[in-house]
Structure formats: C-alpha cells, structure tokens
Amino acid sequence: MDPEGAVSGGRRRLLAALVIASVLTGLFPAANLFAQGAAARQIAPTLLRPASATKAPNADGFLQRWLILDPIRLNGQLTDSAVQMAVKAEYFPNQFTALPRDGDALTVADTALTWRSVETVNYNVNLYHFAYAHKRPTSNVLFWVVTVVNAPHDMPDVRLAIGSNAASVWWVNGQEVIGIYNDRQTVIDDGVSKRLTLKKGANVIRGAIVNGGGATDFCARILAGDDRPIRDITVGLSVPERAPASPAQ
Amino acid sequence: MNCWLAVVVAVLLAAPLVALDGDPAMHDPSTIVLHNGTFYAIGTGTGLPISMSEDGWTWRRAGTLMQGLPGGRPGQAVLARGGNNTWAPDVIRSGDKYFVYYSAPGTQPKAAIGLLVGTTLDPRAPDFTWEDRGPVVWSDGVEDSNAIDPGVFRDPTNGSLWLTYGSYFGYIRLVELNPKTGQRLYPDRKPVNVAINSEASIVIARDGWYYLLVTHGSCCAGANSSYNIRMGRSRRITGPFVDNIGIDMLQGGGKLLVGSGGRHIGPGHFGLLDLGDGVQKFSMHFEADLDRGGISVLDIRPLLWRDGWPVAAENFTEGTYQIESARTGTALEVAVQGVPVGGIRGRGGRGGGGRGGGRGEPVPATPIPSQDAAQVSANWPTDAIDVRMSPYMLQAQQKWTVAPVANAGGYPGSAYFKITIAGTDRTLTATADRELTVLPAFTGAPEQLWRIDQLTDATYRLIPKATPGVQAPLALSAVGSSMPTLTTFDPNTDRQRWILKAP
C-alpha cells in the first residue's frame, strides 16, 4: 500500500501514461499476448478476458482466473475487527453463497456494480489494474472475488494459500478459512488455511480484499500436505450444474 | 539479531541450569546408548555401575555390568596386565553386540583396558550376560602411556573402528579395532600417539574432519577440580589433531569446548549423543554439582556446530521469548488484534504523531513502557484462540513464557516445558487436527508439554509430547508467512526451525 494514502489524480495520469507506454513497448507479458493476437482479450495491462471455460493453475499452482466485483467503497480500515466487520456486512443477497456470472449486475449503496471475469497473466491478480481499467476507485475499497476449483477426486489435507494487499478474508465452500489483517503487501503464501478437503468436483473459493490506498492485488493457490502447490486441478468460473464445462484450455 | 546472539541473550537471562533429574550421580560416564527405547550410561565404580533412563531426563541406578559377567570381576588376563579396579568405560554397538571397553588400572601407570561383549545393556533382561574377551591395550608402568579411559569411535566413512586411550602419563594413543571381535585389528602395530596432557579421549567426525576430544585439568577433587573438555581436529583419523590456533594436541593444544559454569564445576568425559534429524547432544560428568551437595553428576547438553567446530550449548531455560520462524521471520502470536506499544499514536518520525519526533522537533524524553497482557487483553476471547504468525512488534500476544514442568517427564537433558502467553495461563496446545490453539489454561495434558531441542545450527525444534490421535512426533512448523501448524520434522528445511529471542 502506498503509505501516503490514495494516489493523487496527477499520479494517476502519470501511472496511466506509464502503463500505456509499457504496453506499447512490450514491457508487460500481456502486451505480447495482445500483439500475438491471442484469443483472450486484454482488459488491463495484466488482465485478460478468459477465452475458455477452464484453465489449469500456472506452473507454480496459482489460480489465475477469477470473477471480480467492481470495488465497494468503504472506510478502508485494516484492523482485525474493522475488516471482519466490513466483510461481514451484507452488501448484496447471498453474498457468501451466490456464484455470479460474468456480467451480473447489482447495486450496492446506490452504486451500480458488475461482476467481471478476468484471467491474470501473472501469479497475482492486480486489482488496481482491474479497478482503474473500469474507472472505479482503488483506495478505501472492498473487492469481492470468486473462483471455482474443480478437483478430480477428494483432496484431503490441502490448504488454501493466499497473499493480499491489503487485508483479506477467504472462504472455501462457505467455510471461513483465512483472515489476514493490517496494511500488508502481497506475499506468496502469506495467509494459509488450516488443513481442509477439496471435494471431488467444484469447490468455490471466495475472497474479500480490503484496500486502504495505493496498490492492491492478491494471489492464491492450493498447497498439498508437503506445502507443494497442487496443479492437477482446473479453475473455472462456474459449477458444472450451472454451465457445463467446455474442454479445458 | 542473529541466531547466535539470540542464544547468548537467552543464556544471560536463563535461570540456573539443572543437571538431569532423578539420580544422575555418576563419574566418568560412557557414551550414552539408546537401546530398546531406554538410555544407558555406564560409569566408574565397582562392577561398572549402570544408569538408565526411559526419557533421557530422569535417571536411576540399575545394577552393574559385571553382574552379568561370570565371576563378577575382570578376568585373569586383564588383572595381569592391569589391576582390579573398574573405571571409565565406553560402549559401542557393533553388529548385534555391544562392546564395552573399561579401564582396569593397577598401580598407575600400569593399567589395561579390558573388553566385555554382550547383547543387552538392560540388567533385567534374561540375556544380560557378558563375555570377558581380555585386555585390548595396556601400559607396562614404564612406557609413556597410562592405558585407561577408553573412547571408541566408528568411522562413518568406512565403518572402521578405533580406540583412543590414555591419561596424562605420556600420550593419548590410537589403535584400530576389529569390528567383529572388538580386539585390535593389527596388534603388532605400534599405537599412534595423538595427544598429551589429557585424558578421557574420544573421536567424533563431521564433514570430512575428525575431532579428538579430551579432558584437561584435574579431576576427583569436587569443587576444586579444574576439569575442562578440549579438542583438536584433523583430516585424518591418525592426526595430527590441531586446535583453533594451530597447536598440535601432541604439544598440548586444545580448543575449549566446555568448562565450569553456572552451578557446575569440572566437566569431563565427553560422549556424543546423536539423536538424528540434526539434533546432537553430548554427555559429560561434572565433578561437582553445587545444587546436589557437590557430588559428581551426569549431564546432557546440546551440541552445536559453528565454523567447523563443535560448540557446547546450554539446555533451554525458563524465560519469556518471542518465537520467530527461521523460515519466514515472523513471530508466533495468539490471533488477537494487536495494540501498538504505547497505544495508537501518530506517525512519529516521518512528521506526524503530535508533539515531538517530527522533522526538526525535539524527541520526547518520556519512555514508553513495555506492553504486557494485563494492559491489552480485556477484549481477548476467553476460550480457545487460534495461533498465527506476524511481524514481531513487541506486543503482548507475541510474548511467550516458556517454563519447565516438574514431574512431567522430559527428554535427553531437559524436562518438558509449557508455553504460555506471558502474564497469563493461556497455553499453546496441539490439537487433534494437527494444528495449534491457545487454550485458556494449562492442564498438564501431553499436548501442552513441549520438547525444545536446540539443533546444530542453534535454532530450535519444538515438539509436543503428544499430538492427540497421532502416534508419530510432530514438530511446530511454519507454513506460509503467517500460519503455524504441526508436521513431521524435516531437517532439510527451515520450516520447523525456530529462533527464540528475548523480547
């Protein structure tokens, strides 16, 4: 997080210029994908629109495909109690159980918000890029993110491992499993759940990331009992009952 | 603060050390042997007295070795070369047998080292019988040797077996043994002289070096004994063994491993106790334990390694510590919302924070008191609380008091410990799902008793006496930056290595 607080308008313009210049010069991997005419459509320097129904984790096991709700404004306090209160407030119906679709719209505090599917080209999902690309606030906000992990068989004794900027709370199949608080940067495997079981089939992973100001992002993967990342899973954005999966990418 | 400085700080804050529990009275202990789940040591005395311990902490006398020897005393060949005393034995397992080498001095320096061979060290076992295989080496009373104080060593590089022996008169000597018989492999070869001015010699090996450990100074005078353990090293088993400043042990060299300290005077008779998985300890006796009326006692201490030399560490002692993961650098804490030390203030040194501390402003002179649990725990949950790891910030939920628990057993060198949040009874506890929690009170249950072993790199391994429903021992482990758990100890990672620092 930027310790000086929210990024000023001038700095935003500067950042935008840098981002555009970086894309044009091929600094970001996404720019290369874009230049090569990949099927995925770029929506931000590090974010694409998914071009297939499912995707395997990357080589290090990171889950790269997510549904993200446009950020919800809040006060951006990051203590344990403030974050717990923020994420437990009801913003929309069935917020802990609903599995949205790309493009689903809702209204929170008179603000129209949209669920958007993204695929990051990196290990992490840059929420600043996401919000900036959609002309949404990046500071003092709450992001809801959801993904679906499909396990080929029951996987006991695994752990969800995340990193986030800043605080975040996470659920697996409705069970709260991680809470990390205070002003912090995204560090791989910063917050790790206790041992849990991924059941055969679809498992819904849901996160709520609270940002105070400045950069904001997260990363997530599943660790086996020996702490090695699990890759024999696929990541989709829907459960099979709602939308049968297409062949894996 | 690095690991070594943390160790020094911990030692400085330590309560007086206690040498083992039960009846650790012993002089000239052999290397400690773990046999069928029980630790054994044999010492000087009539018939070679045996001490045993199920956990390595609480010791008791258990008869003598020569109870199992026909005639109950050294055989005639040993008596002829040496004498009728039975001192300072050493023991090693070779195949399915134990070889016990013992000193049989006559009128020194006329002495012999005898060999006894048996299959069990347990005097209660029906097969507790010993065979006298006669003298192995001896000194005739004139030559530059006093053939007592055997130390036996198996070379891990090739399985060869070696014996060092000697005591002050003349040289410490080295001979090779036959691993099958225990006798000399080349009886016609002249023994190799490897040191002088010492006794109680033994060799250990590590990373291509051989280390000759000996005892310097005087023994057997209680608190007036100047015994201390010293060492040199060599790339060859036959020497030359040279100390840290380049002096050959044949010329009196010897780097100090351990001398008198705390309430204990005169350490001697080093023995390596390698517990595996990167945990090494060593045994010795102190000539005088001031807490036990000045008697000679067995003790066990951690053995560390630094810059290619063994380092004698202290057993872990009671105190208040931060428990930092060597893997992540984050500290164990009970999962409650922290309060900044001194309360919530402004940004201080970067220009905020009200009075003082800003750019060009005077620094306020009033110190901020340390934070304890009584100040900040009013809103902590009263029942079980999760455990996590965070950057250490001197907060009450990050300070742990580690204290030994009486009458709860222990492990080699130490009693079990309880680990509580300082100033509270909230206790670190292993759970049935192989995770951790902090319970409101200490109950003495095995899942609340902790074994704290210092590893050879000076970090610590913490293992609960029992994890509910789990047979194998599990160690406190870091997974990710902010989550502790319990897993099987892996000496090849930092996951289960912890640094305990004074807060």
ipTM for this model: 0.81
Give the whole-angstrom CA distance, residue B459 versus residue B180: 39
pLDDT 10s digits, B237-270: 999 999 999 999 999 999 999 999 999 999 999 9
Q: Which residues of B touch A193 (CB under 8 A)?
A: 483
Contact B481 A79 (CB under 8 A): no
Residue A137: exposure state from Cβ atoms within 10 A (0-12, 13-18, ≥19): middle
Same domain for B250 and B321, yes or no, is no
The pLDDT value given to residue A246:
40
pLDDT 10s digits, B134-157: 999 999 999 999 999 999 999 999
Peptide bond connecting B404 to the previous residue in cis, omega within 30 degrees of 0: no
Residue B106 in tokens: 């006559």
| SS3 labels along B346-407 | CCHHHCCCCCCCCCCCCCCCCCCCCCCHHHHCCCCCCCCEEEEEECCCCCHHHCEEEEECCC
With CA atoms as reference, report the closest residue to A206 among A170, A247, A243: A170
* Domains in chain B, number: 2
The CATH number of whichever domain residue B65 belongs to comes to 2.115.10.20
Residue range(s) defining the domain that contains residue B467: 1-17+316-339+381-503
In this structure, is residue B375 part of a structural domain?
no
Same domain for B83 and B211, yes or no, is yes
Same domain for B412 and B467, yes or no, is yes
Residue B297's region, left for phi above 0, alpha for psi from -120 to 50, else beta, is beta
- Read off the pLDDT band of B345 (50, 70, 90): confident
Q: How many C-beta atoms surround the C-beta of residue A224 within 10 A?
A: 15
The pLDDT value given to residue B364:
63
In this structure, is residue B158 part of a structural domain?
yes
Whether the Cβ atoms of residue A229 and residue A221 lie closer than 8 Å to each other: yes
- Spans of all domains in chain A: 9-236
Same domain for B256 and B327, yes or no, is no
When the candidates are 2.40.50, 3.30.160, 2.60.40, 2.60.120, the CATH number that belongs to A9-236 is 2.60.120
B321 min Cα distance to partner chain A (Å): 23
pLDDT 10s digits, B43-63: 999 999 999 999 999 999 999
Candidate from A181, A193, A195 with C-beta closest to B434? A195
- Read off the pLDDT band of B359 (50, 70, 90): low
pLDDT at B94 over 50: yes
**Which of B21, B90, B199, B243 is the catalytic position?**
B199
Block residue for tokens 């929690």: B437
Q: What percent of chain B has pLDDT over 70?
A: 92
Q: Which residues of B touch A190 (CB under 8 A)?
A: 480-482
List of residues 6+ apart from A14 with CB closer than 8 A:
none
**For chain A, which residues score pLDDT lower than 50?**
1-38, 242-249
A191 min Cα distance to partner chain B (Å): 6
In this structure, is residue B370 part of a structural domain?
no
User: What is the separation, in whole angstroms, between the first and last Cα of chain A?
Assistant: 34
Same domain for B43 and B172, yes or no, is yes
Residue B207: exposure state from Cβ atoms within 10 A (0-12, 13-18, ≥19): exposed
Give the whole-angstrom CA distance, residue B29 versus residue B100: 12
Closest residue of chain B to A227, computed from CA coordinates: B479
